[in-house]
Amino acid sequence: MILRMNPLEFLYYIGYTLHRRQGLARRRRLGGRVVSVGNLTLGGTGKTPLVMAIAAEAVKRGFRACVLTRGYRGDAGGTLVVSRGHGPLTTCSEAGDEAVLMAERLRDVWIIKGADRYRSGLAAAGMDLFILDDGFQHWRLHRDVEILTIDGADPWGGGRLLPLGRLREPLRAMKRADIIVIKSAGQGDGGVEEVIRRHNSRAPILRGEYRAAGLVNPGGEEMPLHVLRDRRVLAFSGIGNPGGFVETLVRAGASIAGLIPFRDHHRYTEADLERIAAKAAETAAELIVTTEKDMVKLRELPSLDGVHALRVSLEINGRELYDRVFDGLRPSATGEGAGAPLR
């Protein structure tokens, strides 16, 4: 539960309120269905894996899908087509790590980077489904389904708004959600649902859990998961929740020799690789493992000897998520995805 605001939080709240009001006044609608995936807090809550899961399911069902992403820390301005469904057309430096990862993993799905998601959507005509990545606070684009993701281990960001905590909005904003997905923390997170229900009594609450699916080398070749079993692993990552990454490795049977955390979306250098290699030697690590999001950036460096990425899948209990996302959706007969002002 959010505590009484102090002056810094109140200043942030005033800015947030004005930004929201201005965005809603200029809200527009795209031609296809728009599904937003976002969260209330800064940091990792499983948004990107959920976006990829929805996009992959859309392709299975015969829909044309496009992911609209801000492309955090990507240097390219304006609208950038990262993929037309056949792999990345640009680099992490231009598009951001998450956008390139989605472009690598998702076939037959367009990925478009841009701060203005409406303008980005216009660049992908004829789509049945637009998936708005990190869209809970993107006010200027109408969405048909609002999905909120919550980290069960740290759901409320300390109970404070920015800059004192990690909350982007007050908890009452949960009432906008049509579906809520809790990234499971195992035991001890039972109180999360009670807090949710104080603010949203209608949305189905689902559980999502990361599961290790295998290892990938820098060349993209896959290795079976049993390679991790009882091996000493040095883990490193530049993600919002490195503890969750380590937990997934442990559940896969790895013995953690050490962890090197970098800040979220860190851009790696040769010096970083030297530090990682030295730590691996110091801890007698048998394998060096990072995340797939980190690996897409590391591939831009000359040497990656001995580094592997952990491929994970997101498993969600029940079919309510896809039933709601795709309910009544039919492939476009016109092939036109033009946008129009929201009336």
Share of the chain above pLDDT 90, in %: 78
Q: Which two tokens stand for residue 178?
A: 């049509």
88: left (phi over 0), alpha (psi -120 to 50) or beta: beta
Distances in whole angstroms, Cα of residue 163 to Cα of each of 39, 87, 196, 321: 17, 37, 23, 33
With a cut of 90, say whether residue 339 has pLDDT above it.
no
**Cα angle, residue 91 at apex, residues 85 and 97 outer, rounded to 5°:** 85
- pLDDT tier for residue 340 given thresholds of 50, 70 and 90: very low
With a cut of 50, say whether residue 269 has pLDDT above it.
yes
Phi, psi of 165 (to 5 degrees): -120, -160
Strand 205-216 versus strand 222-223 pairing type: antiparallel
- H or E element: which one contains 12? helix 7-25
Residue with tokens 């909350």: 167
List domains and CATH numbers for the chain.
Answer: 7-209+316-341 (3.40.50.300), 211-313 (3.40.50)
Q: State pLDDT tens for residues 221-235.
A: 899 999 999 999 999
- The mean-pLDDT minimum among 91-105, 117-131, 296-310, 327-341 falls in 327-341
pTM summary value: 0.91
pLDDT of 198: 96
d(CA 309, CA 249): 11
**Cα angle, residue 239 at apex, residues 238 and 244 outer, rounded to 5°:** 120
Number of C-beta neighbours around residue 176 at 10 A:
16
Burial of 134 (C-beta count, 10 Å sphere; 0-12/13-18/19+): buried
With a cut of 70, say whether residue 187 has pLDDT above it.
no
d(CA 196, CA 193): 5
pLDDT of 186: 54
pLDDT of 300: 82
209 versus 33: the higher-pLDDT residue is 33
Cis preceding-peptide flag for 163 (omega within 30 of 0): yes
pLDDT of 299: 86
Tally helices (H) and strands (E) across the chain: 10, 15
- pLDDT tier for residue 190 given thresholds of 50, 70 and 90: low
In the predicted model, what is the mean pLDDT of residues 186-191? 62
